[in-house]
Structure 1
Amino acid sequence: MKRILTVTALSLAMLSGFVSANTPATSASQAAISAQQIQELSKIATQGFDAMRTMQYARLAVFNANPELATKLTEQAAKLLAADASDWKNFVKHAKDPALTKNDDYILIDSSIAIAENYVATAEKETAIEKANEKMKNGDQKGALEALHLAGVGVNETQYLMPLNQTRQAVSKAQELLKAGKYYEANIVLRDAELAIVVDSETLIDVN
């Protein structure tokens, strides 16, 4: 079983290819990404994650024969996905394989970092992991990766990308179906939206 570093790593997505739509994708610009941009990314990611989770709760409500609750939850998901003060398109993230995210605006909604599958524990590596966790807790993502790299610890990152337009359309369609009393069909639409999430994995530190 892979050991997970003790942070969610949304801000570390900045180090693995995320830039806002208004920022050129260069090493210098990535290094200069501000704390405010990281905070905005976290806000958008949380909003997208909450929308997807609310859609899952709506499906559960349908299974529990509670269409009224399912309708309310779907309305809540629609509000979370609606345009607001933050421009969603400023936070579009492309998968490592461009073909996976070429047909929509994909938003990062969750991210995790794990030790590589071939990890073999040693005292030095365990110390490096503890040091990296402390650095990441303090916002020093670069220092965390450097500590792991020096100790020869392989690190993989997994990002979950939500197709914004497709998800909005699915929620809108589910609202129509629920209103028409087509609860099973609404559940299928919401399920398909959940399955449309792209899981993109990338090796941040390769020690092979």
Structure 2
Amino acid sequence: MNTKSRILTTAMAALLATAPIIGATYARAADTTKAATEQTAAKETKAVDAQLNASEDKAIIKTMNEAYKALREIHAARLAIFNGTPEAATNFVNLAQADLQTASEKMKDYEVDKITPTLTDDAYIPFDTSMALSEGFMPTPEKQATLAKANEHLAKGDHKKAVDVLKLANIDVTISGAFIPVKASLSHVADASKLITEKKYYESNLALKAVEDSIVMQSFGIDEVPAQGVAG
């Protein structure tokens, strides 16, 4: 999904050279131990949409809401299969399939360059981003003040201004992103849907797992952030 949370602010956090400035949110989604109900999932999805849409234009790398939601739904479907609730799994797979179809329709606006793909002839789109201080960062009173100022911008969801503040103070940061191949993911989820109807739950779980396994994590220097909307 997308990361729109605050960064490190304290001097103690600044001492940790690789401490995250913006924390990833996808990992938190993976902490769920029970499949959510449709009502709960719909409520969470609505909240995520409102949060992400508010700050997308100010993001360093725009993340796609539908891709993030699809991964949450895929994870929930796998948990439902594990918990022996195929009806819930079917519902989540259907939601994921719809979100990935929308992602496919919008991928030209979100696809990025500079990705080292594991699959060819596919579009890699970001669903989550994070920012961290570059290795070797040494805190000073001036730099701690800069971090506090950058943090104010991030609290408002304005990542671009935060990065500008850090760059002016010669504070190097690394931008990291999580990307999925849209076409392959849609194909895997379609397979999972068919397999569930055939009551082949083990195989369906593997098809869903293939989506998670296809995630590519990649980092960039602040002056090497990939361009978006690169598809022809």
TM-score of the superposition, structure 1-length normalised? Answer: 0.73
When residues 60 and 95 of structure 1 are mapped into structure 2, their CA distance, relative to the original with a 3 A threshold, is farther
The number of equivalent residue pairs is 178
- Structure 1 residue 185 corresponds to structure 2 residue 203: yes
Indicate the residue corresponding to 2:92 in structure 1: 73
CA distance in 2, matches of 1:181, 1:143: 51
Residue aligning to 2:106: 87
Contact between 1:94 and 1:101, CA under 8 Å: does it hold in 2? Answer: no
Matches of 2:160 and 2:88, distance apart in 1: 45
Contact kept? 1:55, 1:77, Cα under 8 Å: yes
- State the alpha-carbon separation in 2 of the partners of residues 187 and 37 from structure 1: 32
- Find the aligned partners of 1:49 and 1:168 in 2 and give their Cα distance: 13
Shift of 1:143: 3.8
Unaligned runs of 5+ in 1: 9-34
**What amino acid is the match of 1:161?**
F
Which position in structure 1 is the counterpart of 2:143?
Answer: 125
Q: 1:172 to 1:202 in 2, by over 3 A?
A: same
Unaligned runs of 5+ in 2: 1-15, 25-53, 225-232
Match of 2:74 among 52, 55, 74: 55
Out of 72-81 and 121-130, give the one that drifted further.
121-130
* Residue in 2 that maps onto 1:21: none
Per-residue deviation, residues 146-170 of structure 1 (Å, max 9, x unmatched):
3212333220111111111111001
- Structure 1 Cα separation of the partners of residues 216 and 196 of structure 2: 26
Letter of the structure 1 residue corresponding to residue 113 of structure 2: H
* CA–CA separation in structure 1 for the residues paired with 2:160 and 2:131: 14
Identity of aligned residues (%): 30
Post-superposition offset of 1:93: 1.4
